[in-house]
Each structure stands twice: as structure tokens, then as C-alpha cells.
A and B are shown apart, each in its own frame.
Chain A
Amino acid sequence: MPSAAGETIHPAPSATTLAARLLTKRFGARAALREVSFELRSGEAAGIIGPNGAGKTTLLSILAGVLAPDEGELTQTGGSVGWVPQQPALYSKLSAAENLRLFARLEKLADPEAAVARMLEQTALADRADEEVGRLSGGNRQRVNIAIGLLSEPSVLLLDEPSASLDPRQRERLWEFISALAQRGTTVVFSTHNVAEVERYANRVLLLADGELLFTGTPRELEQAVGGDPRDFEAALVDFLHQRGH
């Protein structure tokens, strides 16, 4: 993870917060996930990567509890799981504060107003709090989207392609925010098509293809697995997929 100075930081993971065992999901005859198993620890940032149709969103949906697996089991210890879907799940006619307040009340938080104020502060949206979400920029909408996922101060945060449709500046600010969360001990799991984001911000790679988990380890371990140029993570990823017949 990069620090404020841009230096990559991979804090030492601690206790297991999320464990998936032999997760399988089928849509009709097609297997979207096949016996996927992994464990994630507190403060770990896991990037799910793979070609289109690999099963990234399906895996995140199962981890979020939106989809139920056909087989396998999921264990989550301590705290709650926050989920940030790919498309901002917000009411565009409500303001940022009203969206946060609604979900804080639905989550039955002890002090909804304090939670709203805290999230507006953390996402630097306090000055736009009363603006209708439909009038906010894509980046600010995504920040509100993430803020809702963080309302309950979850121990695990799941993000489905969080940087999609953001410009480079917004993307940079988003990753700063997510990195800070991981540094504070939140387990972060994100999916992305951007290989550079995984190399830069993840300390664990989950490589999926055709519903199968082909690799789990650090970005460096993936490069070593193919024996390629350690300075080119993307080339190593492509080689790895070729070697596995994808």
C-alpha cells in the first residue's frame, strides 16, 4: 500500500477475518465459481483479478451475502462486512447526508447522526452533504457509495471495481482512502481490471479464470511463479494465464 509519500506499504497481517472453503456457484449449467478457497487476515488488501467472466463479481457477491453459494462455506470472524457495489447504490434524489442517514438507520446504528457526520468527514464530503447525489460528480458519488459501505465500521470491506469510471485524480484519492482503511486494520477485498492497481495496492492477489482460483499470493510471488521479468507484473500475469491454458 502506498503511504502519503507514495511509498508502498504492506502492513503485517494478523488474525484471519474471512475464510472461504470450496465455494461453488452455478447459473444454470454454467459454473461461475468452482471450489474457490482462500483465507484473508486483518489489514490485508486482496485484489481479485482475472479476465471478463472469470467470476470476480460473483465471488464478491457471495462474500457480501448478496448471493448464496451452491456449495462450500464462508466464515467471517469479528465485526461486520461492508459492501460497495460496482455501480453506486444510492438514491439520486436524496442528498449525500440523507443517503447516509437512511442506511445508518436501516443498519440500526446506535447514533446515526454521529455516524453520518463521521463518514462525511472521512470522505471529505462535509461541504457537499446537502447536495442531491444525482448532481455530484462520479468520483463524489463513489465516495458516498463507499461511505455507506463503511457506516457500520466493518472489519471487512468488499469493493467491486471501485475505481471504474473515475478519472486519474479521483482514482488516486480513492486509493489513498482505501489504503488508510487497510492500515487501520480493515480487511479490504477489491476486484479490478486494472493490473497496476493490484500490483500497487494489494498485498494479496486472487487470480480467477473461468470460475477457478488459479493463484493466491503476493504480486511478487506471481511474478516468480512464471519466472518472468520482475519489473513487469502485467506480462507475468498474462504468461501465468497462458501457462494454465487461459
Chain B
Amino acid sequence: MRWLLVKDLQILKRSPLLVGLLIVYPIAIALMIGFALSSPPGKPKVAFYDEVAPGQGTIRLGSQKINVAGYASDLLSSVDPIKVDSEAQAIAKVRDGAALAAVVIPSDLPQEIQSLITQGVGDPTVKLYLNTKDPIEKQFVDQAISSRLNQVEQDVSKQVLHVAVSDLQEVLDGGSVQILGQDVRLLGLRNARTIIQGTIASLPRSSPLRVALSQVNAFADLAIQGLGFASPVLGSIGTPLTVDETQLAGRTTPSDAYAAAIAVIVSLMFVTVLLAAGMLALERSENAYPRLVRGLVTPGRLLTEKIALAAGCATLVTLVMAAFVSLFVHLDWSRFELWVAALALGGLAFGALGVAIGGLAREVSAASLLAFLVSLPVAFVALVPADAVSGAVKTALDVVAFLFPFKAALEAVSNAFTGTSPGAGLPLVHLAVLAVVFGGLARVALLRFAAR
């Protein structure tokens, strides 16, 4: 096997273009994936139609007005809005793919909010149309708009509470309100109590009014205490939590390390699968396979040599790549042994997949094409977010991901880089089992390898 390894390394050394492509191409793809995963998403295009007529977006609460329409436009701050002139146009924008979603503000929204606040009856509704063609983008838009809606709800509640607290304060301390365009003075409970207490003091001790006024004074005391307590409580509900935000130039997060792990595993997969498939198919393309297996090398040893060659080269390339990535993303160097173990076992499993592909394809060009055709969906299936697809599809994707080495290798390497759970033990065992299974499949594929 040693001499076959030496021979393959000599061939690779004399194929600089092939080696260059095998290394540069997957690394370029991996870096692009890593960049895409670690970059913040852009604003989604959303069609927006506001049915509320100009000047009608205000509601009146007691003595104050709230501009609800202003809050509705806040919805647009987290998206790239496409303003349209009707609900039908908004829906059309979604249907023809010009917008990922459409938001429609109905004309009765201010009235419904006012009714809900003042009478407890009302159903203020904002219409949202989502394009379901792409589940990942749908999820992204849904999250962006829902979080913005929650913010608007909080802002409106806060404003309503502010108005309520202000009105309560006027009931307590007095002030002035506008009624039918006229300024009307409010006495306020505290002033009323002072007047009552003065009146009681001026009355003779035997006056029957003293008892009645003392009852009014007691009620005023209770009301002042109760309302005096309610004001700060309502105020605190309006702002239940304060976030003290401080920006620090700290280390990168585990999600960056995960993106780095994806980039490394994509490279590991492409280098190993392509190299193993291509080098095995080369034995047949050069007509050397029958000469080798007539007593010089057993098919099993030949497969082992190809897997070892591909896994060794890919492990070396990806270790260098990980070391380079660690200049920008924090990777835990104290777990370096685990990096090597995860990449080597991942390489062996991908190498076994590669020789199975090479054995089936039999020609170098067909093997390379088939290796690409298999590798891309294998990576895609393992990277689909769990909540981006329905239950049945998710189960099917999980089964497919389980049958190929990408997901297990990603879990093992991700754990090796950061030490986050789940641990690397199970994925490493999974990879070892997959290496044996694909090695067995490759051995079966070799039965027809020499046939013309």
C-alpha cells in the first residue's frame, strides 16, 4: 500500500492544476458560505399599503391625542418598503416575487384601537401577506415583521399608559382639559379634600353637616391614597424593563465558530470526496486496475489506500485552513487533538463515500461529476434550519442527513472548535460507522469495476 500511496502522491504532484482546483475551489466555496452565514441579513423587500386617510391616524384618549399612523410607519424601519396604492397591488407584488411579504394597514385601525382602549371592545388588525415559496425567506420576513409589530404594540401601550397616568394625576392634583374647544378647570381630589377639611373646621361641632362632610373627606383620603399609588404602578408597567446597552470589542461568538466549522467541513467534503472518487476512477481509466488486482494488491487494500490518501490530504488542508480561520474567529486551540480526530474521522467517512462514488462511476470525469452532484445536496440537507420546513419534510431531511457524513462531521468539528454541547463522542462514532458502511458499498461497486 505504501508504494501505491507514493505513486498517487507523485501523480498529484505532477497535476498542479488539479491539485490547485481541488484546494482553491472548495476553500473559496467554504469561505463564501462562512461569510454568508456570519453576515447579518439584509432588509427584506415588503410591499406596504396604508388605507388610513391622511389626518385620520390619530386617536383621542381623555385630554390627549395619540398618532397611531406614526407607529404603523415604524413597521417599515426593519424592511425595504415598496409603497403601493391598494391591497390588491400589495398582494400582486408578493405573488410575482417582487416582494417577500406585504403589510396592509386597514382604514379602521385607529378607530379599533380607540374602541379597544376606551371601551374594551375592538379588534385592531394589521394584515400581513407572506410568500410561502421559500420557507427560509418566509421565516426571516415573518420574524423581522413580527418583532417590529411587538415593538409597535409596546410603544402604543406605553403611550396609552402615559396618557392614563397623566389623566389620573390631573384627577388627583387638578389642572385643565379641553372640552368642546373650551379650557375647563379641574379642581382635583387633593384640592377638594383641602376645601372639605376647611369647611368641616368652620362648622360648629354640633352641625349635622360635619358627619356627612367627614365621610366625604374620608373617601377623598382613600381615593388620594389609592390613586397616588396607582400612578407610579401604571408608569412602571409602561416601561417594565430597561436595557442598559454597552458595546464592547470582545471575542467572537460561538455562532462565528459554527460558521467556521461549516466552511471547514465543506472543504473537507469536497477535497476528500473528489480526490477519493477521482483517484480510484483513475486506476480504471489508466487500465491499471486489472493489473493491480491480479495478485499485487487486493481490492480492499486498494480502497483503503485511496481513502487514506484522500482523508490524509484533506485533513492536512483543512487543519491549515482552520488555523488560518482562527486568526479571525476564536477557536479553542486547547482542543487541538479533537480537531485532528474530528477532521481525520470526517475525512475517512467522506473518503469512503468518495471511493463508493468512484467505484460506481468508473471514469474520472463521471466520478468528478457524480461527486459534485452528491456532495452539494448532502451539504444542503444538513444545513436546512430545523424550523424552516414542515414536520414530515424535516424527518425526511434528518434521515438523509443521518445517512451521509456531513452533519456528523459538522457536529464533531463544531464541538472540537468550541467545546459546546452536544459532545463529539457520538458524531465520531457515527462517522466511523459511515466509513465502514461506505467502504463496504465501494467494495461491492468494485465487482463491476474492471468490466468494460
Q: Residues of A at under 8 Å CB distance from B?
A: 61, 64-66, 83, 85, 87-94, 98, 102-103, 105-107, 132, 148
B residues contacting A by CB (< 8 A) are 3-4, 6-7, 10-11, 14-15, 286-288, 290-297, 450
Asked if A106 contacts B287 (CB within 8 A), the reply is: no
Residues of A close to B10: CB separation below 8 A: 93-94, 98
Bound together, the chains give a CA A85 to CA B6 distance in angstroms of 24
Cβ-defined contact, A66 with B286, below 8 A:
no
Q: How far is the CB of A55 from chain B (nearest CB, A)?
A: 14
Decide: A64 near B294, CB < 8 A? Known: A102-B3, A106-B3.
yes
Chain B binding surface, main DSSP class: helix
Chain A: minimal CB distance from B48 (Å): 62
Known A-B contacts A66-B450, A106-B296, A107-B296; the reply to A88 vs B287 at CB < 8 A is yes
Q: A98-B10, A106-B292, A132-B14 are in contact. Are A89 and B297 (CB under 8 A)?
A: no
Distance to closest chain A CB from B18 (angstroms)? 10
**Most chain B C-beta atoms within 10 Å of own C-beta, residue among A85, A105, A106:** A106
B286 and A91 contact, CB distance less than 8 A: yes
Are A91 and B11 in contact, with the CB atoms below 8 A?
yes
A238 to chain B: closest CB distance in Å? 28
17 inter-chain pairs at a CB distance below 8 angstroms, sorted by A residue, are A61-B290, A66-B290, A66-B294, A66-B450, A83-B294, A85-B287, A89-B290, A89-B291, A91-B11, A91-B286, A91-B288, A93-B10, A94-B10, A94-B11, A98-B10, A102-B3, A106-B297
Q: Is the CB of B290 within 8 A of A85?
A: yes
Whether A83 and B291, one on each chain, are in contact in the complex, defined by CB atoms closer than 8 angstroms, is: yes
Cα(A73)–Cα(B296), bound, Å: 22
* CB-based contact B14/A90 at 8 Å: no
Residue of A nearest to B15 (CB): A93
A residues within 8 A CB of B296? 103, 106-107
> Are A94 and B290 also in contact (CB < 8 A) when A106-B297, A107-B296 are?
no
Q: Which residues of A contact B3 (CB under 8 A)?
A: 102, 105-106
Q: How many inter-chain residue pairs (CB < 8 Å) link A and B?
A: 52
Given contacts A85-B291, A94-B11, 8 further A-B contacts (CB under 8 A): A66-B294, A90-B288, A91-B286, A92-B286, A102-B6, A103-B291, A106-B292, A106-B296
Task: Give the Cβ gap from B268 to chain A, nearest Cβ, in Å.
Answer: 25
Q: Which of B3, B4, B286, B297 has the most CB of A within 10 A?
A: B286
What 8 A-B pairs have minimum CB-CB distances, sorted nearest first?
A89-B287, A106-B296, A89-B291, A87-B287, A105-B3, A93-B11, A93-B14, A66-B290
Tell me, in angstroms, the Cα distance from A66 to B297 when the chains sit together.
Answer: 12
Give Cα distance in the complex from A119 to B261, angstroms: 52
Q: Closest CB-CB distance, B13 to chain A, in whole Å?
A: 9
**A61 CA to B292 CA, complexed, in Å:** 13
**A94 and B15 alpha carbons, distance in the complex (Å):** 11
Complex alpha-carbon distance, A132 and B11, angstroms? 11
Are A65 and B11 neighbours in the complex by a CB distance under 8 Å? no
Q: Which of A87, A102, A148 has the most CB of B within 10 A?
A: A102
B286 pairs with A65, CB closer than 8 A: no
A230 to chain B, nearest CB (A): 38
Report A-chain residues with C-beta under 8 Å of the C-beta of B297. Answer: 106
Which B residues touch A106, using CB under 8 A?
A: 3-4, 292, 296-297
Q: How far is the CA of A89 from the CA of B293 in the complex (A)?
A: 12
- How near does chain A come to B62, taking the closest CB pair, in angstroms? 89
A107 to B3, CA, bound (A): 11
Chain B, Cβ-Cβ closest to A132: B14
Instruction: Provide the residues of chain A in CB contact with B290, threshold 8 Å.
Output: 61, 66, 85, 89
Q: Who on chain A is nearest to B452 by CB?
A: A57
Partner of A94, one of B4, B7, B295: B7
Report the separation of the CA atoms of residues A132 and B10 in the bound assembly, to the nearest whole angstrom.
12
C-alpha spacing A233/B287, complex, angstroms: 34
A89 touches B14 (CB 8 A): no
Q: Specify the chain A residue showing the minimal Cβ separation from B11.
A: A93
- A94: nearest chain-B partner, CB-CB: B10
Contact present for A90 and B286 (CB under 8 Å)? yes
Contact A65 B295 (CB under 8 A): yes
A7 CB to nearest B CB, Å: 35
Min C-beta distance of A208 to chain B, whole Å: 18
Report the minimal beta-carbon distance from A66 to chain B, rounded to whole angstroms.
5
Chain A residue at minimum C-beta to C-beta distance from B292: A106
A106-B328 Cα distance, complex, nearest whole Å? 47
B residues in contact with A83, CB < 8 Å: 291, 294
Q: How far is the CA of A102 from the CA of B296 in the complex (A)?
A: 11
> A72 CA to B297 CA in the complex, in Å?
25
Closest to A92 in B: B286
- Distance in angstroms from A112 CB to nearest chain B CB is 9
CA gap between A105 and B3 in the complex, in Å: 7
Partner of A89, one of B4, B11, B288, B295: B288
* Complex: A45 Cα to B309 Cα, angstroms: 42
Q: Residue on A with the closest CB to B1?
A: A106
Which residues from B are CB-within-8-Å of A94?
Answer: 7, 10-11
List B contacts of A92 (CB < 8 A).
286
In the complex, what residue of chain B is closest to A81 when comparing beta carbons?
B294
- Measured between alpha carbons, how far is A27 from B154 in the docked complex, in Å? 78
**A102 and B294 contact, Cβ closer than 8 Å, known pairs A87-B287, A132-B14:** no
Cβ of A91 and Cβ of B291 under 8 Å apart?
Answer: no
- The residues of B that contact A93 with a CB separation of less than 8 Å are 10-11, 14-15
Distance between Cα atoms of A83 and B294 in the complex (Å) = 9
Question: Which residue of the partner chain B has the closest CB to A64?
Answer: B294
- Which residues from B are CB-within-8-Å of A87? 287
Complex CA distance for A98 and B288, rounded to whole angstroms: 14
* Contact residues in B for A107 (Cβ distance below 8 Å): 296
A240–B6 Cα distance when bound, in Å, is 52
Residues of chain A contacted by B14 (CB below 8 angstroms): 93, 132
Contacts of B450 in A (CB 8 A): 66
Smallest beta-carbon distance B195→chain A, Å: 109
The residues of A that contact B293 with a CB separation of less than 8 Å are 66
Shortest Cβ distance from A144 into chain B, in angstroms? 12
B29 to chain A, nearest CB (A): 27
B287 proximity list for chain A (CB < 8 A): 85, 87-90
Complex contacts, B11 vs chain A, CB 8 Å: 91, 93-94
Taking each of B11, B291, B295, which has the highest tally of chain A beta carbons within 10 Å of its own beta carbon?
Answer: B291
Q: In the complex, are the beta carbons of A148 and B291 less than 8 A apart?
A: yes
